[in-house]
Structure 1
Amino acid sequence: KVPVLLLLLLFLSPAVPQKTQAGTYTLTYLYTGLSRPSEGSPWLQAIVFLNDQAFFHYDSESGKAEPLGPWKHIEGIKNWKQESLLQKVRESIYLETLQDIMAFYNDSNGSHILQERLGCEVHNNISSGAFWKSAYDGKDFIEFNREIPTWVPLDPAAWNTKKKWEAEEVYVHRAKAYLEQECPDLLRGYLNYSRHILDQQDPSSVSVTSRKSLGKNSILKCQAYGFYPQEISLHWTRAGEVQESESGGEVLPSGEGTYLSTMELSVLPQDRDAYSCLVEHSALAQPLSVSWDRRG
């Protein structure tokens, strides 16, 4: 079944132009399989990303690959019937692997999770990276080393998987070819339809508020929201000098394909210095500084 998948990856890859805008882009497949899914939930789900944006979805219940977000409205980017066929084949391999692992541990009725992440990266239109790794119940299971090339077991049960997947040497080289050739070609093809989405620049809106803590200190909160791409720098400054914040800094999705980030700082009641939140983002022509209004 493994070679069938790799052959499908080869034959379903469209002929695509080779010219794209300079920059770094990734195509990532994330699979999650459940041995005992809850009622009404599929046992296998896949979400495919272009950079950090969900591109399409597949699950074992519908048996269909369906575009997400702005790609719902783009014609010609993908033959979705063919992609559904490919993912259906992937589903059968995934189920077989999960069952093999459970059999190895003599736990055919347990509740277990098999996850997989695979994909590639191009930088300035040149293939610049690839990855293929699985985890079982949250622990590393097996990964593909394309330099050797070989499957590297990271779990005792993975030795059986390695043996099955490397039954013929040609299958290993097909996996390498997919990561280094077919996957980047697919990604470059998607970029012909998607650069305007992935290269969008949404500047951040910023709000600065405060509240009293139990210790009567003021907790300053700076929130940047509605920005894209997700890379952002948030700092509190005191009289122009950067301060080490107590909490925050994580970047989280805020819907509509944008992100938000929050940074908090504790200030003593007697501290009369000027505090500001400094925001740096690629969509801003220059860093944005928003002062804390003590009257707020």
Structure 2
Amino acid sequence: MAMLLLLLLGAAAPPGGCSDPGPGLHSLRYFYTAVSEPSPGLPEFITVGYVDDQLIDHYDSERGSAEPRAEWMARSEGPEYWKRQAQISQGTQATYRADLNTLRGRYNQTGGFHTIQAMYGCELRGDGSIGGFYQDAYDGRDFISFDKDQETWVAADVGAQITKRKWDADRINTQQWKAYLEGTCIEWLGKYLEYGKETLQRREPPRVHVSDRPSREGLTTLSCRVHGFYPRSVAVVWLKKGVAVPQETLQWGVLPSGDGTYQTRATIEIDPSSETDYTCCVEHPSLAQDLRVPWGLKPNVMLIVGIVIGVLVLVAAIAGAVVFLRKKRDGYKAAAAHDGSASSGSNQGSDTCVKA
């Protein structure tokens, strides 16, 4: 179950360019999972809600109650709210139980373990616009989704066509979903952001580290690691001579760092012998303007060469000085020895002193 939820949470596509608004600045999402054969530790029905990537509430059919999972949710909402959330989940649980029987018959399945998953929610984007979505899956495969702009349902396979025709015909239900995603959901997201503003509305700027490594056939892979930022919304792209090249930039997705912040990485493969003017460009809500960190192969090489030459010159100078001093000292000793031998026959005291 945890893996299924992680797959759903990772469904958002990474941003494609430095000027791309990226994923939603803030989001409210709900995930429903129903199973045909529950077991201890795997309830028949589970509901979880998230604001951004923070778990805010949980319901499962074993407990039969909705519970807060964020301290600020427990502090801000009273018993009536949680009672209402439990009633909504219990009603959905009964609906999904019937839907599992319907879909088993539609796909000619006589028994076995089967699942229905749903995810829906809304988001406030970095550019001020809003978005919303609803999607169902059966046995881990796409089943049906909602196109709210066209106010129609989109079937993923032949088995879902029956559901599509039925739901398209129910115009009231379709309009209610559109109104929820564009209105009610956004309103509740605003409330939750206010409840948990100390956590959810904070700003932590990204830290950027640019590195390189040899690739294949003389090529070099440049890596731009961006980490320590919050909120999740970020855009990262490589610039070539100041121009974004998103088609050449490989995005690695935005992941939690485990400390309440996020991290991501963008790489690009280049020929360092032909062009080295590359810069990693990062946009984030915490930044007044985009952050640009250049990759400086040539300057670094020149610096290293300069340091090496400087060290060699210094070593040579020291060696020359040592040789000079040794020669000077040896010359003094030779002169002293010459003077001593000339006077040794007439000064026995000096000769005796030298031997002592």
Distance 2:178 2:245 in 1: 47
Q: 1:278 to 1:172 in 2, by over 3 A?
A: closer
Q: Which has the higher helix share?
A: 2
Moved more, 228-237 or 61-70: 61-70
Moved more, 212-221 or 69-78: 69-78
Aligned pair partner of 1:99 in 89, 98, 101: 101
1:80 CA displacement:
2.9
Distance 2:249 2:151 in 1: 45
1:165 CA displacement:
8.3
Alignment-derived partner of residue 14 in structure 1? none
Deviations 1:202-224 (A, max 9, x none): 21111122222243433221111
Alignment-derived partner of residue 332 in structure 2? none
Alignment-derived partner of residue 77 in structure 2? 76
Aligned pair partner of 1:204 in 203, 206, 214: 206
Matches of residues 24-173 of structure 1 in structure 2 within 5 Å? Answer: 26-36=27-37, 40-69=41-70, 71=72, 74-76=75-77, 79-120=81-122, 131-142=133-144
1:183 CA displacement:
4.5
Preserved CA contact (<8 Å) 1:99 1:108:
no
Alignment-derived partner of residue 283 in structure 1? 286
Deviations 1:199-257 (A, max 9, x none): 32221111122222243433221111122233322222344444453522532333344
1:163 CA displacement:
9.5
Deviations 1:107-159 (A, max 9, x none): 13233331212345679xxx966544423234443456889988777666557
Instruction: Give, as a single letter, the amino acid of the residue that structure 2 aligns with 1:280.
Output: E
Preserved CA contact (<8 Å) 1:77 1:190:
no
Alignment-derived partner of residue 328 in structure 2? none
5+ residue gaps, structure 1:
1-22
Q: Which has the higher strand share?
A: 1
Distance 1:280 1:168 in 2: 43
1:278 CA displacement:
2.0
Instruction: Tell me, yes or no, if structure 1 residue 265 matches structure 2 residue 268.
Output: yes
Distance 1:230 1:150 in 2: 30
Distance 1:143 1:266 in 2: 37
Preserved CA contact (<8 Å) 1:234 1:249:
no
Q: Secondary structure at the residue paired with 2:137?
A: strand
Instruction: Give, as a single letter, the amino acid of the residue that structure 1 aligns with 2:110.
Output: S
Moved more, 45-54 or 149-158: 149-158
- The TM-score with structure 2 as length reference comes to 0.58
Q: 1:168 to 1:224 in 2, by over 3 A?
A: closer
Alignment-derived partner of residue 19 in structure 1? none
Instruction: Give, as a single letter, the amino acid of the residue that structure 2 aligns with 1:104.
Output: R
1:64 CA displacement:
3.8
Alignment-derived partner of residue 7 in structure 1? none
Q: 1:215 to 1:33 in 2, by over 3 A?
A: farther
Distance 1:83 1:170 in 2: 23
1:57 CA displacement:
2.7
Moved more, 158-167 or 138-147: 158-167
Distance 1:243 1:177 in 2: 38
Distance 1:239 1:180 in 2: 41
Structural RMSD (CA): 4.3
Q: Secondary structure at the residue paired with 2:231?
A: coil
Instruction: Tell me, yes or no, if structure 1 residue 248 matches structure 2 residue 251.
Output: yes
Instruction: Give, as a single letter, the amino acid of the residue that structure 2 aligns with 1:267.
Output: I
Alignment-derived partner of residue 235 in structure 2? 233
Moved more, 146-155 or 192-201: 146-155
Instruction: Give, as a single letter, the amino acid of the residue that structure 2 aligns with 1:212.
Output: P
Alignment size in residue pairs: 272
Deviations 1:46-67 (A, max 9, x none): 3212345433233334434333
Q: 1:130 to 1:163 in 2, by over 3 A?
A: same
Preserved CA contact (<8 Å) 1:204 1:224:
yes
Moved more, 130-139 or 168-177: 168-177
Preserved CA contact (<8 Å) 2:257 2:263:
yes
Q: 1:77 to 1:183 in 2, by over 3 A?
A: farther
Q: Secondary structure at the residue paired with 2:31?
A: strand
Preserved CA contact (<8 Å) 1:53 1:257:
no
Provide the identity percentage: 37
